[in-house]
């Protein structure tokens, strides 16, 4: 009960407020995405943004703040509430050689447009024998927010990464957000960018390199956030925060966790995972999505099918969201999402620590 209460207290309240850069080397995820969009629109006149409230309202989460005033109606377009319609317009524009960025106010609403994402965007390059590229980005908040119920809290990482023809990125911090968004916009193929609403207002320290206009991260390459030798923790999006917090707590007990931020769900950087597990001999995966057929399940299968399996000294453990629709009650919502103490418990079980 005490753990649940602490978890609830630690949840960030939902906020639609704008954010400002805190210092020269501090950047929020919201501003990182905004600068990535701005820089790429400035660099390439074929890039344009469309979606609900992206223009005059500056975006539901203020990610597109200032872009309509700078680039005008033709390149920042407010759409009606019709995901199937404006996603179709965006895909058609990509067929014709433009580079649309299609915002879903939440990826839960992308279900209205999934035929356009899967059947039109993801499959056309293959079905045209490589003659028609579809350079489009589908972006928006994914997964759990706070107090928005079952229909607005789902993680679509496993859904979209299941589909050949799509690239799927899942940024955690400001460096991820800026570098991966710029890479997605420049990519010749459709990219799904799964952001997290709860991270938009979080500031992260960034280097001068990240602030540079030419900073781009490769899609399909994970990042080791913290080196360690006893166990590997693999996570994406907000679950990276849980993994890093657990690693900090466990370090105080002499357990050194290697924390991997996947950054990209498709393609999946198995090489980085394999190398880490061959060093630590133990693995825990962490994600906010449901357990069945999830990202952790895929990582388990890849390990099993590779010689890395023989380096394991214990079974792989998955830490996931609970296998239920998201409850509305705050206490139950906290219980349905993986918390830091869940990761610590999993590590202790894998390592046999009592």
Q: Which residues are catalytic?
A: 83, 152
Predicted confidence at residue 254, as pLDDT, reads 96
**Can you state the angle between helices 239-251 and 340-351, rounded to 10 degrees?**
60
Which of 285, 57, 259, 94 is CA-nearest to residue 173?
259
Name the token pair of 151. 């229909």
Decide the pairing of beta strands 283-286 and 99-103: unpaired
Predicted confidence at residue 354, as pLDDT, reads 84
Tokens 């079974």 belong to residue = 315
Instruction: Please tell me what DSSP assigns to residue 342.
Output: H
C-alpha–C-alpha distance, residues 79 and 196, integer Å: 22
Integer CA distances (angstroms), 63 to 17, 151, 265, in order: 11, 22, 23
Contact 68, 91 (CB under 8 A): no
Predicted confidence at residue 4, as pLDDT, reads 45
Which of 198, 46, 41 is CA-nearest to residue 133?
46
Which domains does the chain carry?
27-211 (3.40.50.970), 223-351 (3.40.50.920)
Contact 64, 31 (CB under 8 A): no
- What are the residue ranges of helices labelled H in 169-292? 174-186, 208-211, 239-251, 270-280
C-alpha–C-alpha distance, residues 334 and 125, integer Å: 42
Predicted confidence at residue 22, as pLDDT, reads 43
3-state secondary structure of 223: strand
Per-residue pLDDT of the chain (354 residues; tens, 9 = 90+): 444 444 444 444 333 334 444 445 899 999 999 999 999 999 999 999 999 999 999 999 999 999 999 999 999 999 999 999 999 999 999 999 999 999 999 999 999 999 999 999 999 999 999 999 999 999 999 999 999 999 999 999 999 999 999 999 999 999 999 999 999 999 999 999 999 999 999 999 999 999 999 999 999 999 999 999 999 999 999 999 999 999 999 999 999 999 999 999 999 999 999 999 999 999 999 999 999 999 999 999 999 999 999 999 999 999 999 999 999 999 999 999 999 999 999 999 999 998
Is omega for the bond preceding 267 within 30 degrees of 0, making it cis? yes
- What confidence tens digit (pLDDT) does each residue in 108-133 have? 999 999 999 999 999 999 999 999 99
Instruction: Please tell me what DSSP assigns to residue 329.
Output: S
């Amino acid at each position: 009960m005490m753990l649940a209460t602490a978890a609830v207290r630690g949840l960030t309240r939902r906020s639609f407020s704008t954010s400002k850069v805190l210092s020269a080397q501090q950047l929020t995820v919201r501003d990182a995405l905004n600068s990535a969009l701005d820089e790429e629109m400035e660099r390439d006149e074929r890039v344009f943004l469309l979606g609900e409230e992206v223009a005059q309202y500056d975006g539901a989460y203020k990610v597109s703040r200032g872009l309509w005033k700078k680039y005008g109606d033709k390149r920042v377009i407010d759409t009606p509430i019709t995901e199937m319609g404006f996603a179709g317009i965006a895909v058609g524009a990509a067929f014709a050689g433009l580079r649309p960025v299609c915002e879903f106010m939440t990826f839960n609403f992308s279900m209205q447009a999934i035929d356009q994402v899967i059947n039109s965007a993801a499959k056309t390059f293959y079905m045209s024998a490589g003659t028609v590229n579809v350079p489009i980005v589908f972006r928006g908040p994914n997964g759990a927010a706070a107090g928005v119920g079952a229909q607005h809290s789902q993680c679509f990482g496993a859904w979209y990464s299941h589909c050949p023809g799509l690239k799927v990125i899942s940024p955690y911090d400001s460096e991820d957000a800026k570098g991966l968004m710029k890479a997605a916009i420049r990519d010749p193929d459709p990219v799904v960018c799964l952001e997290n609403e709860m991270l938009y207002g979080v500031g992260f320290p960034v280097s001068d390199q990240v602030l540079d206009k030419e900073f781009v991260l490769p899609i399909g390459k994970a990042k080791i956030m913290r080196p360690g030798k006893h166990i590997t923790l693999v996570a994406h999006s907000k679950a990276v925060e849980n993994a890093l917090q657990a690693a900090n707590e466990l370090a105080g007990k002499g357990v050194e966790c290697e924390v991997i931020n996947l950054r990209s769900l498709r393609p999946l950087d198995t090489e980085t995972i394999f190398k880490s597990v061959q060093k630590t001999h133990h693995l825990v995966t962490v994600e906010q999505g449901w357990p069945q057929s999830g990202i952790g399940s895929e990582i388990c299968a890849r390990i099993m099918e590779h010689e890395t399996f023989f380096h394991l000294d214990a079974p792989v453990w998955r830490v996931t969201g609970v296998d239920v629709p998201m409850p509305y009650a705050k206490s139950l919502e906290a219980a349905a999402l993986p918390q830091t103490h869940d990761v610590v418990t999993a590590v202790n079980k894998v390592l046999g620590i009592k």
